[in-house]
Every structure is written in C-alpha cells, then in structure tokens.
Amino acid sequence: MSVLVFIESADGAIKKSSLEAISFAAAMGQGDVTAIYLGQLESAELQKAGNFGATKVLHVNDERLNKGIIQAYASVLAQALEQSGAKTLVLAKSALGDPVAARVAIKTGASFVSNVTALPDTTSGFKVTRSIYTGKAFATEEMKGDIKILAVKKNAVDLKETGGSAQVEAFSPQLSDSDFGVTITKTEKQEGEVLLPEADIVVSGGRGMKGPENWGMLEELAGELGAATGCSKPVSDIGWRPHHEHVGQTGVKVSPTLYIAVGISGAIQHLAGVNSSKVIVVINKDPEAPFFKAADYGIVGDAFEVVPKLTEAIRAAK
C-alpha cells in the first residue's frame, strides 16, 4: 500500500502546509509516501519532500498546470491514484486543495473529509477527527469509501525531518482540452514579505493601537519575528489597515504556531479566526479583556510600553 500526497508551492518552494501533509501521511504508517507536484518547479526543491517522509515525488512538468486550474488538477490526481494503486490521498487544506479534492472525490467515488486535525483511528474502521463550527468543536467521521481523501488543517501535526531525499520521477497523465475549459485571466496575490494565510507567526493589532500611525511598532515586531501582520475587523472597517489583514470569522482564518494580539479585546468573531493557533499571546491594558481567557500567555500593560521592549528583547536575543 502507499499514500499519495498532493503538494503545492509558493515563490519557488514547497509550502510548509504541504510539508506538514507529507509528515502526516508518513505518520499514518500505511506504506510508502509518494508526493505529486503539478507544474514547473526545480527538482532540487522537490527532492526536499524526502526530508519529511516521502520516498518519491511524481512531477507533472507541464507549464499549463502552473496556474492551478482545478479541473486539470483533479484529472491528474485521479489518474495518479489509479496508476499508483494508492488508496489514500492527503493534501493540505487550502483555497486550491479543497475544491481539487472535492472533484477528485467525485471522479473516484472516494470518501472526502476536510479540516482534519489528527491522525486517523484505524483500530475499528477508518475514523478521522475534523474541526467544525470555525474551530469551536470537533467531529469524528467514519470514512467507508475504498479511496479516502484527507485535507489536513495547517499545524495539525508537527513537521518531522528524516534527513532523506526523495527520488523525482516524471509523471505524464492524459489531459484533454476539456480539462482546460476554464481560462484564468488574472490572479491577484496578497502583497507583503510574509503572507497572512501561510504565516507561522502573526502579529495583530486592534483599536487599542489608537490609530494607523502607530502600526510601525507592530510591523517592527513582526519584522524581528519574521511574522505577518493582521488586525481586528473594526480596524479594517475604519480604514486603519487593509481588509486583507482582517483576521476573524468573516476575514482570514489563521492557524499559526504563534499568534500575538495587541490591543484586541477578543470578541467571539475574532477568536473564531485564531483559535487554531498553537500559542496565543495577548497584550492588553484591560485585565478584564475577554481575550485573556483564550490566551496561553497574557501581558497586562500598555502596548506602547510593552511592544517596544518586547521587540528590543527579541533583537538582543538574536
């Protein structure tokens, strides 16, 4: 038996969430892990998949697949499952991964569960736990299909390096004109050194920052940490920060390793977008702020005093 893992890239490198998917597949213990990449990417980068548990990487080196056309991706993955004999497809939950996985499930008759947060329980059947209600609860699903597709939530498992290097093999699926029936005319990407949905560390600010002119100290902290910047909904609504930085139930939902909230009270709508974070640090001068109840660490103090000292301490430690 083997497990197939669909991997994505950004800026010429395999995404961390895809490396997590490889680690997840390896930890399942259901045989060799084969990764598959669609589009153009350097072989040296693809070989890195072996350091996280993949024994080989199937590479569909076709420039038509660089843009992420869902129909074509689904057709390739369905063929890869059939030809490899794999009964499980693992991928990272993402804006591309979910619709692709859904189409593959239709093509193959597979069971499909998204937002998976833990390794499957195979002691009696095949059961997986997934996050529901924007992270406020969990559900256990039994997958009965012969083929199973799991979209793994970011940070659901720890990355485990093995020191290996995967063998890259060419894979040549049969693609028709109908697979490219959709033409992508324009793609707009969020700007910034670290993109919010992919960030491992996020520094967010709320109305406690008092105005957009004070955001420089949060950007400085984020710069020292290699973090992305975010904000609460009221901040984006009044135009202090761009809407693509709005973190919360109606904005971007994040699952970083570290989430730092500065001057954010912690309304339930904001918590719904960050409660999958591994560690939450809250800085607020109001000791009764609701966010402290969800925090792993809390600092009661004036952000304009705490943040510069925190930034300086991190700089000194580096």
Residues making up the annotated binding site for FAD are 207, 263-270, 284
101 Cβ contact list (under 8 Å, min separation 6) = 6, 89, 91, 112, 114, 149, 151
Rounded to an integer, what distance in angstroms lies between the CA atom of residue 277 and that of residue 274? 6
Amino acid at 239: G
Print burial letters for 193-217: b (CB count within 10 Å at least 16), e (below 16).
Answer: ebebbbbbbbbbbbebbeeeebbeb
- HSE value, Cβ hemisphere, 13 Å, CA-based, for 87: 9
Distance between CA 259 and CA 61 in Å, rounded? 37
Residue 177 tokens, joined = 């004109």
Q: 261 near 291, Cβ under 8 Å? A: yes
User: Which residues carry a binding-site annotation?
Assistant: 207, 263-270, 284
CB 58, CB 82: distance < 8 Å? no
Q: Residue 229 is encoded by which pair of tokens?
A: 């910047």
3-state secondary structure of 112: strand
* Torsion angle defined by CA atoms of residues 213, 232, 242 and 303, in that order, rounded to the nearest 10 degrees: 20
DSSP per-residue string spanning 124-175: SS-EEEEEETTTTEEEEEE--SSSEEEEEPTTSS--------PEEEE-----
